[in-house]
A and B are shown apart, each in its own frame.
Chain A
Amino acid sequence: MAEQIALEITRYSPERDKTPSMEEFEVPLRKEWVVLDALNYIKDKVDGSLSFRWSCRMGVCGSCGMMVNGEPKLTCATFLNDYAPGPIRVEPLKNFPVMRDLIVEISDFLAKLSKVKPWLIRKKEKPISEGEYLQTPEELDSYRQFSMCINCLLCYAACPVYGLDPLFAGPAALALAQRYNMDSRDEGKSERLDVLSQHDGIWGCTFVGECTQVCPKHVDPAGAIQQYKLTAAQEWVKSLLMPWGGK
Chain B
Amino acid sequence: MLRYTEYPPRGYRVRVSTYWWTGRRAYLRFILRELSSIFVAWFVLETLFQINALAGGPSAYSDFEQFLRNPVVIASNVISFLFVLFHAVTWFNLSPKAMAVRLGGKRVPAALIAGPNYVAWVLISAGVAWLILRG
Question: Would A and B touch once assembled, by the CB under 8 A criterion?
Answer: yes
Q: Which residues of A contact B (CB under 8 A)?
A: 12, 14, 19-20, 70, 94-99, 104-105, 107-108, 111, 137-138, 141-142, 160, 163-164, 166-167, 206-210, 213, 220, 222-223, 226-227, 229-230
Contact of A163 among B20, B26, B102 (CB under 8 A): B20
Q: A166 touching B97 by the CB < 8 A rule?
A: no
Closest CB of chain B to A161's CB: distance in Å? Answer: 10
Would you call B16 and A160 a contact (CB within 8 A)?
yes
Of the A-B pairs whose beta carbons lie under 8 Å apart in the complex, a sample of 30, sorted by A's number, is A12-B12, A14-B12, A19-B12, A70-B23, A95-B16, A97-B13, A98-B12, A99-B12, A105-B11, A107-B7, A111-B4, A138-B105, A141-B106, A160-B20, A160-B21, A164-B16, A164-B20, A167-B2, A206-B30, A206-B34, A208-B30, A209-B26, A210-B24, A210-B27, A222-B97, A223-B100, A226-B94, A226-B98, A227-B97, A229-B98
Residue on B nearest A166 in the bound complex, by CB: B4
Are A142 and B30 closer than 8 Å at their CB atoms? no
The 8 Å CB contact of B11, one of A14, A163, A166, is A14
On whether the beta carbons of A227 and B98 are closer than 8 Å, the reply is yes
Most A CB atoms within 10 A — which of B13, B14, B26, B27?
A: B14
Chain B residue numbers with a CB within 8 Å of A94 are 14
Interface SS of B by simple majority: loop
Chain B residue at smallest Cβ distance from A17:
B12
How many A-B pairs fall under 8 Å by CB? 82
Q: Which of B2, B6, B7, B26 is close to A213, meaning CB atoms less than 8 Å apart? A: B26
Q: Which residues of B contact A96 (CB under 8 A)?
A: 11
Q: Are B10 and A105 in touch, CB under 8 angstroms?
A: yes
When chains A and B are docked, how far (Å) is the Cα of A14 from the Cα of B26? 33
Residue of A nearest to B11 (CB): A97
Cβ contacts under 8 Å, A141 to chain B: 105-107
Q: What chain B residues lie within 8 Å of A213 (beta carbons)?
A: 26
B3 within 8 A of A: yes
Q: What is the chain A residue whose CB lies nearest that of B10?
A: A105
Interface presence of B45 (CB below 8 A) = no
| Residue B38 interfacial (CB < 8 Å) | no
Collect the chain A residues with CB atoms within 8 Å of residue B85's CB: none
Q: When each residue 94-119 of chain B gets 1 if its CB lies under 8 Å from chain A and 0 otherwise, what string results?
A: 10011110100111000000000000
